[in-house]
Structure 1
Amino acid sequence: MARRLLWISASLLLAACPRSGGRSHADSDGARDPATAAEAAPPPPASTATEDAKAWLEGRLPPSVLAGPPREGGRAVIRAYYEPASLNPIAADDGLAVWIDLHLINEPLLRRDPYDDPRYRLVPALAERWEVTDGGRQQTFHLRPGVRWHDGRPLRAADVTATFEKLRAPGVKGTALRPLFELLDSVQEVDPSTVRFTWREPYFLALDAIARVPIQPAHVIGKLSASEYNEASKNPMNRSPIGTGPFRFAEWVAGEKIVLEKNPDYWGRKAYLDRVIYRIVPDHTVARELARREEIDLWDAVQPHDWAKMTDRVFRTRFHRVKYLTASYVFVGWNNRRPFFHDARVRRALAMLFDVDAFLRHVNFGIAPRATCPFYAAGPDCPKIEPIPYDPAAAAALLDEAGWRDHDDDGWRDRDGLRFSFTLMIYPQSTVSERIATFMTEAYRKAGIEVHIQKTEWSAMVKRLDEGEFDATALAWDVGPRSDPMAFWHSRAIEAGANHFGFVDPEVDRLIEAARLVRDDEARHALYRRLSRRLYALQPVLFLYVPVHLGLVHVKVRGVRPSLLWWQPQDWWLNETGGL
């Protein structure tokens, strides 16, 4: 499915992107509706102080976080490690836009159960039921009765059709989501409470794709042109969205916080918290101090050195630690249009010059595993691939073979009069990006390759990526537990997707296209494993590692459960005593 572009924190907490299915939701192998999951869950076993202490050391939430009846009221403060450019997941290729808006403010027709690990099956959201017909080419959704927008207007099928019209309209940004709907033929209003999707061909992730799209009010977006839809000043959905979810947008103080407040008229189980505050704290040192003073309840993206050396009594007694593998990977993206990176031999040589294992020992104490696959590392689409070894001698031979030699004896490789000198674009608040840049600069200097480091603010980075105006950049992609690589790796996604790196390979295109039409899961997994091996061999990006999420949750917060789909604050409540 769609990937979500993220700058790199030392520890990434990623909202998953995008599942498939040719059934109605009633035939879902017992998948639960998340709106009732907290109430339906059995009471956790009692935990002892010894068990809680062991859980803290291992990064496991103890059973006590689900103990006791939920209580209403209060607020939770979540550390946001950067400020999103927008809160509109359709127009912004941004992880935080998804995490804050989708399911909390705006909702899709159906969603993945965030607690159904590792399957994350689809369950109802704004649609109370659906049918899949015509061999998988059609899905008909029946909207829940009585759902209202936060401004009081009723939800209608016209809202669904207006949302998908905007998503597919030329000129609307939609770079991450639009490629998922290339096979979609039409979205039709059957009646005011029924909408039908028709695809030109069956698509195995059709329902998953639909589950990625937040439905937006037609009375807000319907008359906007494509350019107006993209602009924050013209489209309220970008900076002050109106939704149907358990929280309403309250305020956005630039550089400081984004605030959501409880929706008392929510159609489902209402949130327990009155407010959720996303406090924008890019600086990790500041985040650590705020947590130490207990001014944030969720310290997101804890740095590995903080995790490994966490001895402060406040952290050990007032917070739970959380650690789990994410559905993402960190990489250095090469602009394959540039003469330095067009040749696969050169890209492989660059991988051999970067000692990933040494880097990981230095940066995160060896906590994170190496990335060798563009899919969820724990999923069936990732084969076992031997990582490219650190081998400067073999790298030098490949560079020589590709014509990059030191022809003028100035210490730098060159070809046809062009010095091998490129600029690595990084986000200034990302400590890991800076470490990648420093490590790379030194490693490549020894091989006669010059690296310049350019720090660029996030909004400017995204713009330059969209325009292809960069040499290389350090980033992370959120891929989710199940994904379609069309939006990132197919050549068509260069102009109409998220293939920011201009990568083109006919065999990769063929494998992606073939896999999209295969309905048998095992056959598709086999194609994706072939795709993974080819991509790793061609190294269109330098695959580095799979982030392990490291976080701290205050002991007063209950109802917290780790998920690849990020945190679900609509299920949280506060233990008034703040005790374990």
Structure 2
Amino acid sequence: MTKNPIAAAAVSILTLGLALGVTPAMAAKMDATIGMQLEPPNLDPTGGAAAAIDEVLYANLFEGLTRFGPDGEILPALAKSWTISDDGLVYTFSLREGAKFHDGTDFNADDVKFSLDRARAEDSTNAQKALFADIASVDVVDPATVKVTLSKQNGSFLFNLAWGDAVIVAPESADGNAAKPVGTGPFMFAQWVKGDRVELDRNPDYWGEAVKLDHVTFKFISDPTAAFAAMMTGDLDAFPAFPAPENLTQFEADPRFSVIIGSSEGETILAMNNKKPPLDNITVRKAIAHAIDRKAIIDGALFGYGTPIGTHFAPHNPAYVDLTAQSAYDPEQSKALLAEAGVKDLTLSLKLPPPSYARRGGEIIAAQLREVGINVDITNVEWAQWLSDVFKAKNFDLTIVSHTEPMDIGIYARDDYYFQYGDPAFKAIMADLDKATDPDKRTELMQAAQKKIADDYVNAYLFQLPRTGVANAKLKGLWPNSPTQANDMTGVFWEK
């Protein structure tokens, strides 16, 4: 009987592979399933405030002119280079040639103009519209060159363009991005099974270096117990922001997994509605701040992971000032301040979004506030409800949330921001910061801004959210730190 030469060759290859310890399953592993606790409300980074949008899409599907690297540096993206005029007002960007959107349309300077004009328009729905406020005009020089003129100097402009809210979209597809996103990135949209997962496929026509994975699934698991089970059974390959820190020691003891501990940009705060009585009284806000034991919250909600903060700034930033002593835990001082403010029998609402740090931390904070005479009514809300009721409608007294946008202390200058501060003196500090280009002067102003909001007890500052990740030990290339709210899969691969 004559052997089939093709079959014989296949058997030989398989035998060689087994001899080398390479199984067919190992050789074929070109996909990854990534766990996330929150599902994005839509898939348009330019039209929503939820961090989960960027966690799925930033650098994977959508790209901006610039982007954040894994350690927070600003890197070229769709702009391959740029020049800045001597007066700091004109930025001329040289664009990637040959880049295409996933629907086959060409990327060019017209798309940049469309995206930036759309983001800064009067009717813009961009959650970070203030990033674009200093743009006076966007002009197309030629298909590969665009000129952006600012109305005033802004030392953070290239930084601002790296945010997920500043990604470049096309006029042909922008209106549909919320459900079927079309970008220029190395992955393209495959499907969104609402309530379960978003899937991305490798973009075969990507302008840059090809990614090593053919397929990525972002699986949404809100329950920490279920997240633990999914990792243990292999249903997930990684959970970059693992929601159950109490289980990390078990993963550390299991050679199948790697535990990745890093830092994030997530300033976690007990936010207060500064225009709602009696929280419009600084003495009451100060009393609340002194009623909070940060260590108890970090130990109880994060099992010891997390860094205490006393202002809205990341401790790993060189300009950080440690102001935790200014609002140290002192329940007796808290009671005295409430008496000074003439506040008795105070009841405040505390609306908690789904993350475990908020739900667990909220119970601890409520107990601490009750100890000083403040009654707390807790309401657990889903993420969409938090965005509509708290973030947009400002219908709250207290809430707990982690602000994961990079170096976002500028939000305190916005009159319409949900905690409603907008102090003129703080705005003046931020205006000076925008104009400053000298590094020492910028540090001085950033530190002044930190001190100002701490002095005004705008919010109660709790901790910097740690980046506690778990992954299959053979999955490499995940970011250990989180300089922006992203699960960047562009450098992820399976170790052979």
Superposition TM-score, scaled by structure 1 size? 0.77
- Aligned partner of 2:113 in structure 1 is 161
Secondary structure, aligned partner of 2:148: strand
- Aligned partner of 1:568 in structure 2 is 488
Secondary structure, aligned partner of 2:415: helix
Q: Is the Cα contact below 8 Å between 1:72 and 1:272 reproduced in 2?
A: no
Shifted more, 72-81 versus 563-572: the winner is: 563-572
CA RMSD, 1 decimal:
1.9
**Among 442, 446, 449, the residue aligned to 2:367:** 442
Which amino acid in the other structure matches residue 386 of structure 2?
A: M
Number of residues of Structure 1 aligned to a counterpart in Structure 2: 464
CA distance in structure 2 between the aligned counterparts of 1:273 and 1:514, rounded to whole angstroms: 45
- Aligned partner of 1:243 in structure 2 is 183
CA distance in structure 1 between the aligned counterparts of 2:318 and 2:477, rounded to whole angstroms: 30
Secondary structure, aligned partner of 2:226: helix
Q: Which runs of 5+ in 1 are unaligned?
A: 1-69, 222-234, 406-411, 413-419
- Kindly indicate whether residue 415 of structure 2 is the aligned counterpart of residue 494 of structure 1: yes
- Aligned partner of 2:434 in structure 1 is 516
- Kindly indicate whether residue 485 of structure 2 is the aligned counterpart of residue 485 of structure 1: no
Q: Is the Cα contact below 8 Å between 2:300 and 2:364 reproduced in 1?
A: no
CA distance in structure 2 between the aligned counterparts of 1:179 and 1:242, rounded to whole angstroms: 24
Q: Is the Cα contact below 8 Å between 1:72 and 1:274 reproduced in 2?
A: no
- Aligned partner of 1:402 in structure 2 is 341
Superposition TM-score, scaled by structure 2 size? 0.89
CA distance in structure 2 between the aligned counterparts of 1:260 and 1:358, rounded to whole angstroms: 40
Q: How does 1:73-92 map to 2 (within 5 A)?
A: 74-92=30-48
Deviation for aligned residue 1:92: 0.8
Which amino acid in the other structure matches residue 95 of structure 1?
A: A
**Among 239, 264, 280, the residue aligned to 2:220:** 280
Deviation for aligned residue 1:502: 0.7
- Aligned partner of 2:292 in structure 1 is 354
CA distance in structure 2 between the aligned counterparts of 1:559 and 1:180, rounded to whole angstroms: 30
1:404-436 deviations in whole A, cap 9, x for unaligned?
13xxxxxx2xxxxxxx21211112x33332222
- Aligned partner of 1:304 in structure 2 is 245
**Among 54, 74, 77, the residue aligned to 1:125:** 77
Q: Is the Cα contact below 8 Å between 2:290 and 2:334 reproduced in 1?
A: yes
CA distance in structure 2 between the aligned counterparts of 1:357 and 1:71, rounded to whole angstroms: 47
Cα distance change on mapping 1:426 and 1:383 into 2, 3 Å: same
Q: Which runs of 5+ in 2 are unaligned?
A: 1-25
Cα distance change on mapping 1:135 and 1:439 into 2, 3 Å: same
- Aligned partner of 2:65 in structure 1 is 109
CA distance in structure 1 between the aligned counterparts of 2:488 and 2:469, rounded to whole angstroms: 14
Deviation for aligned residue 1:246: 0.3
CA distance in structure 2 between the aligned counterparts of 1:180 and 1:71, rounded to whole angstroms: 45
Secondary structure, aligned partner of 2:168: coil
CA distance in structure 2 between the aligned counterparts of 1:248 and 1:311, rounded to whole angstroms: 32
Q: Is the Cα contact below 8 Å between 2:267 and 2:465 reproduced in 1?
A: yes
- Kindly indicate whether residue 453 of structure 2 is the aligned counterpart of residue 532 of structure 1: no
Q: Is the Cα contact below 8 Å between 2:189 and 2:201 reproduced in 1?
A: yes
Shifted more, 321-330 versus 70-79: the winner is: 70-79
1:359-415 deviations in whole A, cap 9, x for unaligned?
22233333222111212211122113243222122111111111213xxxxxx2xxx
Secondary structure, aligned partner of 1:508: helix
Cα distance change on mapping 1:98 and 1:71 into 2, 3 Å: farther
Q: Is the Cα contact below 8 Å between 2:134 and 2:154 reproduced in 1?
A: yes
Q: Is the Cα contact below 8 Å between 1:371 and 1:544 reproduced in 2?
A: yes
Deviation for aligned residue 1:321: 0.7
Identify the structure with bigger relative contact order (alpha carbons < 8 Å, sequence gap 6+): 1
1:560-579 deviations in whole A, cap 9, x for unaligned?
34232444312122235xxx
1:138-158 deviations in whole A, cap 9, x for unaligned?
111121111111111111211
- Aligned partner of 1:3 in structure 2 is none
- Kindly indicate whether residue 181 of structure 2 is the aligned counterpart of residue 199 of structure 1: no
- Aligned partner of 2:305 in structure 1 is 367
- Kindly indicate whether residue 315 of structure 2 is the aligned counterpart of residue 377 of structure 1: yes
Deviation for aligned residue 1:71: 8.1
**Among 356, 366, 380, the residue aligned to 1:455:** 380
CA distance in structure 2 between the aligned counterparts of 1:512 and 1:559, rounded to whole angstroms: 36
- Aligned partner of 1:18 in structure 2 is none
Q: Is the Cα contact below 8 Å between 1:348 and 1:537 reproduced in 2?
A: no
Cα distance change on mapping 1:365 and 1:283 into 2, 3 Å: closer
Secondary structure, aligned partner of 1:512: helix
CA distance in structure 1 between the aligned counterparts of 2:287 and 2:436, rounded to whole angstroms: 35
**Among 441, 444, 460, the residue aligned to 1:542:** 460
CA distance in structure 2 between the aligned counterparts of 1:564 and 1:444, rounded to whole angstroms: 32
CA distance in structure 1 between the aligned counterparts of 2:178 and 2:366, rounded to whole angstroms: 38
- Aligned partner of 2:401 in structure 1 is 475
Secondary structure, aligned partner of 1:436: helix
Deviation for aligned residue 1:494: 2.8
CA distance in structure 1 between the aligned counterparts of 2:84 and 2:422, rounded to whole angstroms: 34
Cα distance change on mapping 1:391 and 1:561 into 2, 3 Å: closer
Q: Is the Cα contact below 8 Å between 2:58 and 2:487 reproduced in 1?
A: no
Deviation for aligned residue 1:265: 0.7
**Among 189, 196, 199, the residue aligned to 2:140:** 189
Q: Is the Cα contact below 8 Å between 1:375 and 1:479 reproduced in 2?
A: no
Q: Is the Cα contact below 8 Å between 1:160 and 1:195 reproduced in 2?
A: yes
**Among 167, 176, 179, the residue aligned to 1:214:** 167
- Aligned partner of 2:200 in structure 1 is 260
Q: How does 1:306-345 map to 2 (within 5 A)?
A: 306-308=247-249, 310=250, 316-345=254-283
Deviation for aligned residue 1:73: 5.7
1:438-493 deviations in whole A, cap 9, x for unaligned?
2222222232221101111111110122121222111001142xx3533x101xx2
**Among 543, 558, 563, the residue aligned to 2:476:** 558
Deviation for aligned residue 1:72: 8.3
Q: Is the Cα contact below 8 Å between 1:81 and 1:300 reproduced in 2?
A: no
Secondary structure, aligned partner of 1:547: strand
Secondary structure, aligned partner of 1:326: strand
Cα distance change on mapping 1:192 and 1:86 into 2, 3 Å: same
- Kindly indicate whether residue 93 of structure 2 is the aligned counterpart of residue 93 of structure 1: no
Deviation for aligned residue 1:301: 2.7
- Aligned partner of 2:91 in structure 1 is 139
Identity %: 26
Q: Is the Cα contact below 8 Å between 2:251 and 2:257 reproduced in 1?
A: no
